[in-house]
Amino acid sequence: MAHRRIDQLLANLGYCSRRDARAWVRDGRISVDGETATNSATKVDPSALLVNGEPLDHPDGLLLLLHKPIGLVCSHDTREGPSVYDLFPARWRARNPLLTSIGRLDKDTSGLLLITDQSQLVHRLTSPKHKVPKVYRATVDQDLDPSLVDLFASGTLQLEGEKTPCAPAQLEIVSTREARLTLIEGKYHQVRRMFGSQGWRVETLHRERFGELSLGELQPGEWHELALDCFDT
């Protein structure tokens, strides 16, 4: 692992401020390779450092799969209301780089949301170039019309205010007012706007899958860790 300054490491991993890190070193709370550290500016291998005898908390980074409940926003701005980030340990919320979602789900949407501090993963998995399929389950306010299947698949549906039409999307009508929609892009409120453009209002929306990943038995508000390299193949 790349060597980093002790104070920077502790601050970036959300343990304490850099100033506090100096005090923690002075107090003998930090050891490196079994020796008590004496200088918070020393560059160390993060895997060799212990805080109060404990290894560092995820020094390589975090990738989390969350079952987002309805009612939480994907934002760090407290003015926007309760946030998905409140579900995680305080130390993770104090990390730099910040935890961020890979794409967003609306406040009123539930389902699979990935959260990470790895900005390259965010860029890679949200880029339309990579065409990661996202599967949504929607219920709507009126009976669905089979003509929507061809329209959504056509690649010609133009939403108001968008420069490009929606990429071909796969619609499966599950029952009279329930459908599954697979998108390979993520325009703002895309599912609601696609149905809305044709006169249907989405009443409930849930993301079932992101690429190969699904929620399994995870309940709303629960999350588990994923390996940082799980998208490498």
Q: Tell me which residues touch ligand URA (CB under 6 A).
A: 105-106, 109, 189-192, 205
Annotated active-site residue 117? The verdict is no
Least distance (Å) between residue 51 CB and ligand URA: 38
Least distance (Å) between residue 126 CB and ligand URA: 12
Closest C-alpha among 175, 84, 179, 186 to residue 134: 186
Least distance (Å) between residue 84 CB and ligand URA: 12
Active-site hit among 106, 117, 143, 145: 106
CB nearer to ligand URA: give 57 or 203: 203
Q: For 61-84, give the DSSP string.
A: --EEEEEEPTT-BS-S-GGG-SBG
Q: Where are the beta strands (DSSP E) in the chain?
A: 4-5, 30-32, 35-36, 43-44, 49-51, 54-55, 63-68, 100-101, 109-116, 134-140, 170-175, 178-183, 202-210, 213-214, 223-225
Least distance (Å) between residue 144 CB and ligand URA: 16
CB nearer to ligand URA: give 97 or 221: 221
| Contact present, 31 and 50 (Cβ < 8 Å) | yes
Any idea what the Cα angle at residue 18 is, between residues 15 and 23, rounded to 5°?
Answer: 85
CB nearer to ligand URA: give 6 or 205: 205
| DSSP element (H, E) containing 9 | helix 6-12
CB nearer to ligand URA: give 21 or 135: 135
Catalytic residue set: 106
